[in-house]
Amino acid sequence: MDIAKLQSLTPYCWTLAHPEPGVPEIRLYGSAPLLQTMDDKVLEQIRNVAKLPGLVGAAMTMPDAHWGYGFPIGGVAAFDPEAGGIISAGGVGFDISCGIRCLRTNLQQDSLAPRLERLADTLFRVIPAGVGEEGEIKLAPPELDKVLEGGARWAVAQGYGSVADLDYVEEGGRVADADPRQVSELAKKRQRGEMGTLGSGNHYLEVQAVERIFDPSAAQAFGLHVGQVVVSIHCGSRGLGHQVGTDYLVTLAKAASRLGIRLPDRELACAPIRSAEGRQYLGAMNAAINCALANRQILAHLTRQAFAAVLPEARLDTLFDVSHNTCKAETHTVEGRRRRLYVHRKGATRAFGPGHPSLPEPYQETGQPVIIGGSMGTSSYILAGNPEAQNRAFASASHGAGRAMSRNQALKRWHGRELVDALAKQGILIRTRSFRGAAEEAPGAYKDVDLVAEATERAGLARRVALLRPKACIKG
């Protein structure tokens, strides 16, 4: 990105040097070096988002932003339904409620080392991963509707994990106003065998160790210490969420045309939140969020089973589970007034600060755990949400490193088998069903996650708590 087009508000927050008359402000969070690694398409896309009806405040990008469909990945925008605010499938993404479940363990990495290879093999056998891979759970439409309504609570009721997990899952494991009737039969058919599966692409299950603590007080509240083994499970709503996104791009495009909404980009197909089509998409999207929450709950249960088979002394507790492809109705202070807004976060994580009523008691003083995922050979971070007065991005933060090159570009630079062997020499075990997929997700294909985490902190979005290093990674 040509940062000559930008004006620096702070060293970690930027806007257009020459804004368009009548178009709301945009803000790009990140350091100058990070912004320079971004495609110019990111700037074009967030400028288009700022032109959508009912926007409140600025349209924003996080420090890990890169080009996406409609909204940039790492895009954040809030809309007011009372002012004709819209909802856009392109502002949520195809993998609805893709997110990370982080589990802390009672294990130290020294005790893990002799059994790491066996654990990696067991996890790879137990966790269904890969394109089209199905699990043992097969659900007919009536039972799948219960998943779409119940989320992780449905999974717990079926014996996957415990009620104690739910306190540490956003929305208590179930979002309200899900409407399975708005989910197509094709979407449900695609999900029939995919509950409890990891998927492919950038999804993973990673065994990690805490290498460094930045904030001892927050780390204590999160139950983290140096040398501790943790597990991160990164996945979403699988085929169902993707089909919901595909279906509603058509529905919302027709609605925009019918209602006379002028789209700056056809990929930003949208409808007013209060319109019939807007309500239909909200019902389907919330159902897909519940699908993802249930999916990660089942995967956490399978992970515990795999650990028990190799390390019977292991105990795995949920640290937190948070999504990063959603649109949520939330109350935020804007110009001194509390307003109920619909916050699109596409490739961005919710990051509520201390005292937020939705957080469990142990996190009330620290703020919400925020998880920035790495990519196989790179570090990941756990951060804590900042007070609302400090985070001006509607309580949002980065969700990962963010791609620095396309998958096709990555395939030209790396070969999967060689990459897996090289990481093994670094002590990082990769188990994958696709060497091509591993090459597409090579660590070098992503931005420097250390710079992203630092920029997230310095921009006031969230503060670093712990750095995690990968030990074993399960990929599709």
Q: What is the pLDDT of residue 376?
A: 86
Instruction: Give the helix ranges, DSSP H, for 53-160.
Output: 109-112, 116-126, 141-157
In this model, does residue 132 exceed pLDDT 80? no
Model confidence at 18, pLDDT cuts 50, 70, 90, reads: very high
Residue by residue, what is the 3-state secondary structure of 160-172? CCCHHHHCCEHHH
pLDDT 10s digits, 364-376: 999 999 999 998 8
Q: What is the pLDDT of residue 342?
A: 98
CA 436 to CA 130: how far, in whole Å?
12
CA 360 to CA 262: how far, in whole Å?
42
pLDDT 10s digits, 234-292: 999 999 999 999 999 999 999 999 999 999 999 999 999 999 999 999 999 999 999 99
> Domain residue spans in the chain?
3-83+96-475
pLDDT 10s digits, 148-162: 999 999 999 999 999
Fold assignment, 3-83+96-475 = tRNA-splicing ligase RtcB (3.90.1860)
CA 293 to CA 237: how far, in whole Å?
8
Tell me what the mean pLDDT of segment 141-145 comes to: 93
Q: What mean pLDDT value characterizes the chain?
A: 96
Tell me what the mean pLDDT of segment 440-466 comes to: 95
Q: What is the pLDDT of residue 425?
A: 95
The bridge status of strand 325-334 relative to strand 337-346 is antiparallel
In this model, does residue 170 exceed pLDDT 80? yes
Q: What is the pLDDT of residue 390?
A: 92
CA 327 to CA 68: how far, in whole Å?
16
Model confidence at 130, pLDDT cuts 50, 70, 90, reads: confident
CA 328 to CA 202: how far, in whole Å?
24
Percent of the chain with pLDDT over 70: 100
Lowest mean pLDDT among 218-222, 359-363, 389-393: 389-393
Q: What is the pLDDT of residue 226?
A: 98
CA 25 to CA 5: how far, in whole Å?
14
pLDDT 10s digits, 83-117: 999 999 999 999 999 999 999 999 999 999 999 99
Model confidence at 135, pLDDT cuts 50, 70, 90, reads: confident
Known catalytic membership, residue 332? no
The bridge status of strand 26-29 relative to strand 55-66 is parallel
How many C-alpha atoms does 92 have within 13 Å on its Cβ side? 33
Tell me which of 66, 242, 301, 399 is the catalytic residue. Answer: 399
Q: What is the pLDDT of residue 404?
A: 87
How far from each other are the two terminal CA atoms of the chain, in whole angstroms? 32
In this model, does residue 191 exceed pLDDT 90? yes
Q: What is the pLDDT of residue 134?
A: 85
Tell me what the mean pLDDT of segment 209-234 comes to: 98
In this model, does residue 389 exceed pLDDT 90? no
Model confidence at 129, pLDDT cuts 50, 70, 90, reads: confident
CB atoms within 10 A of CB 221: 19
